Chains A and B, each alone.
Chain A
Amino acid sequence: MPILIPMHYNVAADKMIAAVAAMAARMTTPAVAAVALCLGLAGLPAQADWREQVKLDSTLGTELRWFPQTGLQGQAASHWSANALFEWYWQSDDEKSSWVISPYLRFDAQDSERHLLDIRQAYWLQVGDGWEFKLGVDKVFWGVTESVHLVDIINQTDWVDAPDGESKFGQPLAQLTLSGDWGSLQSFVLPYFRERNYAGEDGRLRLPLPVWQDAAQYQSSAEQHHVDYALRYSRQIEQLDIALSYFDGTSREPVLQPVGLQGGTAGLIPYYRQLRQTGLELQYIVDSWIWKLEAVDQQYQHGSHQAAVAGFEYTSVGVLDSVFDLGWLAEYQYDSRGAQATTVAQRDLFVGWRLAFNDEAGSELLFGMVQDLQDGSSRNGVLEASMRLDNNIRVRLDAWWFHTNDPVQLTWWYRQDDFIQVGFDYFF
C-alpha cells in the first residue's frame, strides 16, 4: 500500500519510521481491500485523462496540549502530536460515479497509543435516479443534537483524538440510499468492526488501569468479522425533520472488565456485546429556534436501557448592533441507568454559547458546560476558539476542564487532566 508520507515533520527519522510501523500494524485488512477495489474500479472507465481529474486536498496539523497538573499516574504535563489528512477525489464527467481515498496519520510524542494510520474514507460511489450505492470505507453521521450524539452509531469513535468523541474511524460498509417524495432510506451492511482506542499508560485522560485493547473479547464468535446491519429512514415535513433508525450488531462501546486485581498485572479488557439499537431523531424549526431530540433504546442479551437528549439552539443574528451571531444552546441529557451509566451524560444539563464574529478571519468561539443535576460537584466544560491566520492556516485554542468530588463519576479519573491545547492546521 503506497501511502505518501510527507516528511515535513521535524521528527527524528528513526522515531518516525517506528511510529509508522506501529500505525501500519493497526490498519485493517478490509480497509486495504477497499482501497485496492477503488483503485481497480477507477481504472475501469478507461479514460486516458482520468488521472488529471483526480483532486488532492491535504491538511497537516499539529497540537500541543498543556496540562497544568501532572497526571494521576505521573504522566507528563505537555503532550505534542502531529497529524496529516489526505484526500484524493475523482468524479466522472456525468457526475454519476466517484471515488474518494482519504488516509489519516497521527503521531504522538508521548503516548504511542495515539499513533494511528487510519483510512477515513476509501469508497466507490454510484448515483442513479432516486438511489445511490456506496462500497468501501466511509464516515456516516446521524443525529441533530450538539452535546452528545446518541443515535450516531455507524462509525467507531477515535476516542483518544479529543474528549468530545466527534472524531471517528473509517467504517467498512456497503450502503444503499433510496430517496423520493416519501423520504430517504439508508441501508447498511457493515462487514467489519473497528475497536475503540484508549489512551496508553503514558497518555492523559486515561482510566486508572491500562486498557488492553489487543485482548478484546466479543460476545459474537465471529468477533471483528460479525456482519452488522443498519437502517435509517428520514423525512422532512415542512419545519419538522424526523428520522428513525435501527442497528443490529456489535456495540461500538465496550464494557471494560477488570482483570488481574487479585495478583499479576491488573488491566481492563474491552468486551464488545451484541446490541440492537432503535433510535429516534426529531428537529423542529420555529423562526430562530431549533428544537432537538435524540432518543435511543438499547437492547443487549442481558438487559436494556434508554437514553435521550433534548434541547434547543437559538441564534441571534447581529447581536448588539454588531455583525456577530450569537447562538444559545441548552440540552438535557438523560440515561435510564443513572449512576451506572457508562457515559457522563446521565441526568445532566448542557448549556453553551457559540459566537461567530463574521469577520475576515472567520473567528469563532464556543463555550459549553455540562452540570450534573444529581451531583452538584460534577461538571465539566470546554472552550473552543479558532481563527484563520491566512488563506491556508487556521489556529485553534481549546480548553477542557473536569470537576467532580464523586469517585463514582467517570471524570473522577480525569480530575487532574484539565488542559489547554493550541493547534495549527495547514490546508493545501
Chain B
Amino acid sequence: MQLISRIAGTALLCALLPLSMPAMADDGGKGLTIAKERKVRDEGWKDSEGRTTMILRNAQGEESVREIRTLALEVANDGDKGLTIFDEPKDVRGTAFLNHSFVGKPDDQWLYLPSLKRVKRIASRNKSGPFMASEFAYEDLSSFELEKFKFTWLRDEPLNGTPMFVVEQVPNDPFSGYSKSIVWLDQKDYLPHKIEFYDRKSALLKTLTLTDYKLYLEKFWRPHTLKMVNHQTGKSTDLLLKEIQFGKGRTDADFDTNALQRSR
C-alpha cells in the first residue's frame, strides 16, 4: 500500500510540475544567472578535509553531540565526491559514508560497517531522509549543482543590513523532500546566508542560517556555523565546522570503495 501510494504520489508530482511552470514568475533568466555566478565563484577548490561537530537539539532543548570528519573532492562538470567518517557517538565510530554525486541521475552511495568489515552499496534515490538523526536531510548536504534546480529570482532585499538576492529553487528531482527552497545570497560574494525549505505540501518546514564565513586560498568562502531549525517539530541542529584544510592533493583513488574500507 505504502509503495503504491508513493509511486502514485510521484506520478502526480511529475504530472503537476509542467503545469505549474507557467505560473512561475518570469524573471528574464536572472535567477539562473545569479546561480551560475554563485557556482563559478566556488570553482577550483579541488579538495578539502574538515572536522565538524553536530549538535542535535530536541523541542525540549536537550542536546546530543556528533563528531564527523569529511573529505571532499571537486569534480568538474558533475557532482562532487565526499567521504564522511563518523567518530561519535562511539557506537558508530569507524562507520563511513561514501557519496559520488551526479547531475541528472541518482548518486552512488556506499556505507562501510566496521564491525562486519562490509561495504554496502545503498539505494540513493530518496535523499529526503535525515542525516544522522539531525534536521539536515542528505540532500541538504549534497553539492550545489545548477542542473538540480529551476531558479527564479524573486526580489532584492537586505538581510541583517546586507543587500541580498532572493532566489527560489525548485528541485528537478521528484524524489526531493521539498517543493521549493528560497535562498538569500549576498550581492557581493554570492554566498547563501539563509535558506527556507518548504515541504511537499508547500508549508514552511525548515530554515537554515549560515554564518561565520571564512576565506580560504583567497577565493573560497566557507561557513563555520550552520543552524537548521525545523519549524514543524521545534527541533534544531547546529553544524559547527571546527577545522578545514584545502589542497591535500587528493584524487579519485581516495574516494573509491577500497579507500572507504581503509578509512579511519
A313 closest partner in B (C-beta): B123
Q: Do residues B123 and A177 form an inter-chain contact, with CB atoms below 8 A?
A: no
* B106 contact set on A, CB distance < 8 A: 285, 287
Given known contacts A125-B262, A127-B262, A289-B123, is B91 in contact with A317 (CB within 8 Å)?
A: no
A130 located at the interface, meaning its Cβ lies under 8 Å from any Cβ of chain B in the complex: yes
> B67: shortest Cβ distance to chain A, in Å?
10
Given known contacts A141-B117, A362-B92, A388-B89, is B262 in contact with A318 (CB within 8 Å)?
A: no
> Which listed residue (A138, A319, A394) contacts B2, Cβ 8 A?
A319
B162 located at the interface, meaning its Cβ lies under 8 Å from any Cβ of chain A in the complex: no
A421 located at the interface, meaning its Cβ lies under 8 Å from any Cβ of chain B in the complex: no
> A163: shortest Cβ distance to chain B, in Å?
16
* A132 contact set on B, CB distance < 8 A: 258, 262
B128 located at the interface, meaning its Cβ lies under 8 Å from any Cβ of chain A in the complex: yes
> Which listed residue (A285, A317, A362) contacts B89, Cβ 8 A?
A362
Given known contacts A315-B126, A320-B2, A428-B90, is B121 in contact with A362 (CB within 8 Å)?
A: no
Chain A at the B interface: mostly helix, strand, loop or mixed? strand
* A83 contact set on B, CB distance < 8 A: none
> B161: shortest Cβ distance to chain A, in Å?
36
A375 located at the interface, meaning its Cβ lies under 8 Å from any Cβ of chain B in the complex: no
Quick one: CB contact mask for A131-167 with B, threshold 8 Å, 1 for yes?
0100000111101100000000000000000000010
Given known contacts A129-B253, A166-B116, A391-B65, is B121 in contact with A358 (CB within 8 Å)?
A: no
> Which listed residue (A143, A287, A425, A427) contacts B123, Cβ 8 A?
A287
Q: Do residues B123 and A391 form an inter-chain contact, with CB atoms below 8 A?
A: no
The contact size tier of chain B is 35 or more
* A212 contact set on B, CB distance < 8 A: none
A112 located at the interface, meaning its Cβ lies under 8 Å from any Cβ of chain B in the complex: no
Q: Do residues B88 and A359 form an inter-chain contact, with CB atoms below 8 A?
A: no
Q: Do residues B6 and A316 form an inter-chain contact, with CB atoms below 8 A?
A: yes
Which residues 76-96 of B sit at the A interface, judged by CB distance below 8 A?
88-94
B247 located at the interface, meaning its Cβ lies under 8 Å from any Cβ of chain A in the complex: no
Given known contacts A179-B258, A317-B128, A391-B90, is B65 in contact with A290 (CB within 8 Å)?
A: no
Q: Do residues A318 and B177 form an inter-chain contact, with CB atoms below 8 A?
A: yes
> B13: shortest Cβ distance to chain A, in Å?
14
* A78 contact set on B, CB distance < 8 A: none
* A360 contact set on B, CB distance < 8 A: 56, 58, 64, 133
* B121 contact set on A, CB distance < 8 A: 144, 241, 283, 285, 290
Given known contacts A184-B258, A315-B123, is B6 in contact with A427 (CB within 8 Å)?
A: no
Determine the distance from Cα of A125 to Cα of B262 in the docked complex, in whole angstroms.
9
Determine the distance from Cα of A290 to Cα of B6 in the docked complex, in whole angstroms.
17
Determine the distance from Cα of A317 to Cα of B175 in the docked complex, in whole angstroms.
10
A406 located at the interface, meaning its Cβ lies under 8 Å from any Cβ of chain B in the complex: no
> Which listed residue (B93, B116, B122, B256) contacts A179, Cβ 8 A?
B256
A262 located at the interface, meaning its Cβ lies under 8 Å from any Cβ of chain B in the complex: no
Q: Do residues A388 and B91 form an inter-chain contact, with CB atoms below 8 A?
A: yes
> Which listed residue (B91, B129, B133, B257) contacts A425, Cβ 8 A?
B91
Quick one: CB contact mask for A105-142 with B, threshold 8 Å, 1 for yes?
00000000000000000000101011010000011110
A314 located at the interface, meaning its Cβ lies under 8 Å from any Cβ of chain B in the complex: yes
Q: Do residues A57 and B94 form an inter-chain contact, with CB atoms below 8 A?
A: yes
Given known contacts A57-B94, A391-B65, A392-B90, is B128 in contact with A318 (CB within 8 Å)?
A: yes
Determine the distance from Cα of A290 to Cα of B91 in the docked complex, in whole angstroms.
27
> B197: shortest Cβ distance to chain A, in Å?
14
* A139 contact set on B, CB distance < 8 A: 117
* B177 contact set on A, CB distance < 8 A: 318
Q: Do residues A316 and B258 form an inter-chain contact, with CB atoms below 8 A?
A: no
Q: Do residues B126 and A391 form an inter-chain contact, with CB atoms below 8 A?
A: no
B126 closest partner in A (C-beta): A317
B3 located at the interface, meaning its Cβ lies under 8 Å from any Cβ of chain A in the complex: yes
Determine the distance from Cα of A288 to Cα of B253 in the docked complex, in whole angstroms.
27
Q: Do residues B91 and A288 form an inter-chain contact, with CB atoms below 8 A?
A: no
Q: Do residues A427 and B117 form an inter-chain contact, with CB atoms below 8 A?
A: no
> A326: shortest Cβ distance to chain B, in Å?
8
> Which listed residue (B64, B94, B175) contacts A391, Cβ 8 A?
B64
A89 located at the interface, meaning its Cβ lies under 8 Å from any Cβ of chain B in the complex: yes
Q: Do residues B116 and A318 form an inter-chain contact, with CB atoms below 8 A?
A: no
> A58: shortest Cβ distance to chain B, in Å?
10
A342 located at the interface, meaning its Cβ lies under 8 Å from any Cβ of chain B in the complex: no
Determine the distance from Cα of A358 to Cα of B130 in the docked complex, in whole angstroms.
7
Given A290-B122, A323-B130, 12 more pairs with CB closer than 8 A:
A55-B264, A141-B116, A143-B118, A184-B258, A283-B121, A287-B123, A288-B123, A320-B2, A325-B129, A359-B133, A360-B56, A392-B91
User: B residues within 8 Å of A by Cβ?
Assistant: 2-3, 6, 56, 58, 64-65, 88-94, 106, 108, 116-119, 121-126, 128-130, 133, 175, 177, 253, 256-258, 262, 264
Q: 4 tightest A-B contacts by CB? A: A427-B90, A317-B126, A287-B125, A394-B91
Contact sample, A vs B, 16 pairs, CB 8 Å cutoff: A91-B264, A132-B262, A140-B117, A143-B118, A177-B258, A179-B256, A236-B108, A285-B123, A285-B124, A287-B175, A290-B121, A290-B122, A315-B123, A319-B2, A360-B58, A425-B91
